[in-house]
Structures are given as C-alpha cells and as structure tokens.
Amino acid sequence: MTLLDTDPDAGLEPLEFAVTKNLTARSAAEREQILQSPGFGTHFTDHMVDICWSVRGGWHRPRVQPYGPIALDPAAAVLHYGQEIFEGIKAYRHADGSVHTFRPDQNGRRLQRSARRLALPELPVAYFIQSLRELIAVDGDWVPGGEDQSLYLRPFMFAKEAFLGVRPAHKVNYYVIASPAGAYFKGGVQPVSIWLSEDYARAGKGGTGAAKTGGNYAASLLPQSEAYENECDQVVFLDQDGNVEELGGMNIVFVLKDGTLVTPQSDSILEGITRDSILQLAIDRGHKVEGRDVSLAQWREGVASGEIVEVFACGTAAVVTPIGVLKGKGFFDQQPSGSLALSLREELTDIQYGRREDTHGWLHRLDA
C-alpha cells in the first residue's frame, strides 16, 4: 500500500485563497519596532485567514484578509454554548532567513480530534497546513529572527450560526491569526512553582479534557487565580482518582532515577506535541518511556525517596520548564533538579531553529 492510499487527504485539491491586502498594514519600521520586544499575545500581524463552512457548502470562501474584528450575530451559538476549538503552533526563522514550522500535521490532526469531540466539522489536515502557508505568504516578515523568538500561529474555529437551539451549528468559520512572540524566559530558563488544585477539576471522564477547547481554559482560570494567590506560577490538576493529569496549559513528565521518563496517560489529558517530541528524543538517547497513571501520593513519595529525580512541564509556549516546587494546602515540596529537561529542551529548540539535523522530518518549510 502506498502512502497515498492511506492519506485521508489524497486527491484533495488545494483551496484557492482570495487575498485582500491590508491597506493600513504597519510599515517595515513599525513592524521592526514591535519585533524588538514582542512579548506574548498582544501584537498581531496585518492579515488573517478566514474559511467558511456550512452543512450544505462544506469548506468554502477561503481568504486571507486584513486582520480585524469579526462581526457576530448576538445569537451566534459560540457565545452561548461555547462550541469552539483552537490550536497553537509556532513559525521559526532559521539563520538563512527561511521560515519553518514544527509537525503541523500533528496539530492538524489534533484540531480534527477536537472538532469531533465538539461536534464541529473536521478541517482536512492539508487545508490546515495550507492555511498556515497562506498567512505566511503575506505576513512572513512578521516572523522574528531573534534568539528564542517565533511567530505564534493561532488557528481556531467556532459556531457562527445565529440560532439558540442546543445542537451542532450548521455554520462555522475557521480562522488563523498570528502574534510575534519573544523569548518565554528572559535571562535563561527558570523553574516554575506549581499549585495543586484540590477543589477544582479541569476535566472528567468522558469530558472534553483531550480537546483543545475554550471551556477547558475557562474552567482553569479560577484555580489558576488560586495558584497566583499562593505565589505559584501554574496549577496542576488531578483526576477523580487522585492521579496527576496536567498543568493548565502544559503536560507533565517525571524522570525516574533509572532514567525512565513517566508521563500521565488518559483520555482527559491534552496530547501535547511537545511532549511527544521530547519523549521521542529521549527514546533516541536510549531512555525508557512510560505512559501511565501517577498518583499525587506516588509523586510526593517518589520525590521524598529519591526515586523521582526530575519533574518538568512541556508545551509549545514555554517548550520545557523544570518544576521547582509543588505547593498545596499545608505542604511545600521542593522538587529535585536535574539536567535532562534542559538538555532535551536544547535539542528540541536546536531542531526547531535549524541548528541541528531534523532526523525525524518534523520541520515543514512554510515560505517556499
């Protein structure tokens, strides 16, 4: 069987995007000033992708248009029932000026899984990747070239139909916007402190935990505020059986003293592409990797006994972040520090920025 036989997008014609240039696009000087210090999520490029979907017409009217407000009917289903999904993926500028993204097929597939769970239409992966390429074709100059900088791409899709009945919407739009991002950690990677959420859950069995949908993040805001009140950076969630799930926006990995990497696996956790990649790099180095339940008690006992030698979090935004402290009601556990997380981080970012050979074929060039 050839690859084409197994490719669900085989035979799919590329979309023909209509491009409307932004007449009030920032000048090169204004853009460069923003790219000096872009921060995260506050500046946006001059254009956005917009594709319509309807039950009758399927995916249609693909376009790149000036970045700007979206007109919504007050009865749009997303405003009432939260039928919405999104993705997060970065574009990296290499030393030769070319622009690449990382494993976009994986983000495209995850968007499809999220769509299935939220009863939204599945955008073909080929269209997903094409949408990123189309945006970079007009806004490629917004990919910053500084150390650890990137252009964060935010594809999202929501129910636009004006109808207050509770059922999957018949009209949906898919968009991609982009925001230049500075180095997550200024002056080197810092370990984060984690607050254990005991009163609030992020996901439940059969719920939407594995989907990247706004409601999961809305549910994490109150416990995240609790984390800040307790002087912690991030919150970690447990499942109903007391097993560790993940942080508000990152997966978690434990390193055992025999070099095995253990990460929680369940259908209520978002399957991170950073985690999958880091674990593959660890396997390449000869580490064993296990996806299994880790209870809070096993975590705390493992750290106390020395069985767990490192704990880190991983995700697209911060890549890999060592966990320095776990704090909960009435306890404060210092976490062991090791060097594996940082060396895997370096290997991964070297691949992403084109400083090391991409032996797994993970990079996808966006600007050619």
With contacts defined by CB under 6 A, name the span among 8-16, 245-253, 283-291, 359-367 that binds ligand PLP. 245-253
Distance CA 327, CA 362 (A): 36
List of residues 6+ apart from 115 with CB closer than 8 A: 85, 121, 122, 123, 157
- Which of residues 83, 316, 335, 352 is near ligand PLP by CB under 6 A? 316
> Residue 49 or residue 219: which is nearer to ligand PLP going by CB?
219
- Which of residues 83, 130, 224, 251 is near ligand PLP by CB under 6 A? 251
With contacts defined by CB under 6 A, name the span among 15-23, 30-38, 159-167, 272-280 that binds ligand PLP. 272-280
Phi first, then psi, for residue 54 (nearest 5°) are: -140, 160
Q: Is 246 in the site for ligand PLP (CB under 6 A)?
A: yes
> Residue 66 or residue 215: which is nearer to ligand PLP going by CB?
215
- Which of residues 193, 274, 321, 335 is near ligand PLP by CB under 6 A? 274
Q: Is 270 in the site for ligand PLP (CB under 6 A)?
A: yes
With contacts defined by CB under 6 A, name the span among 33-41, 221-229, 273-281, 357-365 that binds ligand PLP. 273-281
What letters, b where the CB count within 10 A reaches 16 and e where it falls short, cover 134-163? bbbebbbbbbbeeebbbbbbbbbbbbbbee
User: For residue 138, what are its two tokens?
Assistant: 């007009």
State the nearest-atom distance from the C-beta of 8 to ligand PLP, in Å: 21
Q: Is 249 in the site for ligand PLP (CB under 6 A)?
A: yes
- Which of residues 250, 311, 340, 344 is near ligand PLP by CB under 6 A? 250
Distance CA 237, CA 247 (A): 6
> Residue 113 or residue 171: which is nearer to ligand PLP going by CB?
113
User: For residue 293, what are its two tokens?
Assistant: 């339940």
> Residue 51 or residue 247: which is nearer to ligand PLP going by CB?
247
How many other C-beta atoms can be found within 10 angstroms of the C-beta atom of residue 309? Answer: 18
Q: Which helix (H) or strand (E) holds 293?
A: none
> Residue 160 or residue 202: which is nearer to ligand PLP going by CB?
202
- Which of residues 22, 59, 65, 88 is near ligand PLP by CB under 6 A? 88
- Which of residues 53, 315, 323, 348 is near ligand PLP by CB under 6 A? 315
Q: Is 273 in the site for ligand PLP (CB under 6 A)?
A: yes
Q: Name beta bridge partners: 100.
A: 92, 365
Phi first, then psi, for residue 361 (nearest 5°) are: 65, 40
Q: Is 211 in the site for ligand PLP (CB under 6 A)?
A: no
Q: What sections of the chain are H helices per DSSP? A: 3-6, 28-36, 77-81, 104-117, 125-139, 214-229, 273-284, 296-305, 340-352
DSSP code of 221? Answer: H
Q: Give the footprint of ligand PLP on this chain (CB under 6 A).
A: 88, 246, 249-251, 270, 272-275, 315-316
